[in-house]
Amino acid sequence: MSRRKRNWLDRSCYHITHRCLDREYLFEHALTRNSYLKELREMIARFNVDVLNYIVTSNHVHILVYAGNGMEIEKGMQYLQGRMAQRYNLRTGREGAFWSGRYHATLIESGSHLSQCLFYIDYNMMRARAVSHPSEWKHSGYHELSGERKRYTIINKKKLLRKLGMEGEGDRFLKWYLQTIDSKSKQYMERQKYWTEALAVGSQEWIEGMKGKIGTKRLRIVNEEEVKQSKKTDEGLYSQQKSRKYHLVHENEAPYALY
């Protein structure tokens, strides 16, 4: 089966996730995670891509990015993931693939939905029960967004604030950001598959406008709240919906996800 062609949209935000081959813990050691962040800094220096948040876990990565020209993201990711694989194999004497297939990119609507994705990334290692607070995991954007790290930064804070609708409000952002992190919100402590599996996440009106732009015909609608309520008694709900024309998921009365 041929891969679905990506239609990268200009002036857009994407949440990118990529796992190591067979979910191996190839990022188990800090040295390897440091190497990835070094390559990430090199990537944004070479390509017109802004990083808005990131985390490198033991076996996968999350990167929240923006680009005026969407194709820059594809070029940058090809460079980044290829360089990381080459350097790791060269250093360790390993052969073969480093990554598990192609990375996944989810288009994210700016504003409140972008902020939810931002925190979903920050909570990653708490969800995995590896840490009790994001500050305990060195290889993440938390240390930049909280103001702890001021050198060798990766995140474009000005662009992040602009896409959040908080341009020029750095102090307000910092207070709100730290409060949300420290609250250990149940919303972000639960895995929400749409951030890593959907093609796009946003408001219903925005999602409707994306249907003809992201390059796919296999679309259908499912109300995720109804799925959650009936999952124990009806595991076949998804398969029953396959004949629908498009796939729109209502998530917690806020985001909708297009698959």
DSSP characters over 202-239: E-HHHHHHHTTTSS------B-HHHHHHHTTT-TTHHH
Tokens of 84: 């990381």
Q: Burial level of 12, CB count in 10 A (0-12/13-18/19+)?
A: buried
pLDDT along the chain (259 residues), means of 10: 72 97 95 97 97 98 97 97 96 94 95 95 96 96 95 96 96 96 88 90 88 66 48 39 44 68
pLDDT, residue 249, reads 53
Count Cα neighbours of 19 within 13 Å in the Cβ-side half-sphere: 8
pLDDT, residue 259, reads 81
Tokens of 187: 């919303």
The answer to pTM > 0.85 is yes
pLDDT, residue 4, reads 59
Pairing of strands 200-202, 248-250: unpaired
Q: Which fold has domain 12-197?
A: Alpha-Beta Plaits (3.30.70)
Tokens of 140: 């993440």
Sheet holding 248-250, edge to edge: 50-56, 60-67, 12-19, 104-108, 200-202, 256-258, 248-250
Count Cα neighbours of 60 within 13 Å in the Cβ-side half-sphere: 17
Q: Measure the CA–CA gap between 68 and 65, rounded to whole angstroms.
A: 11
pLDDT, residue 219, reads 57
Looking at the chain, the domain(s) classified CATH 3.30.70.1290 span 12-197
- Write the Ramachandran bin of 93: left for phi over 0, alpha for psi from -120 to 50, otherwise beta: left
* CB proximity list for 62: less than 8 A, separation 6 or greater: 15, 16, 17, 53, 54, 55, 121, 124
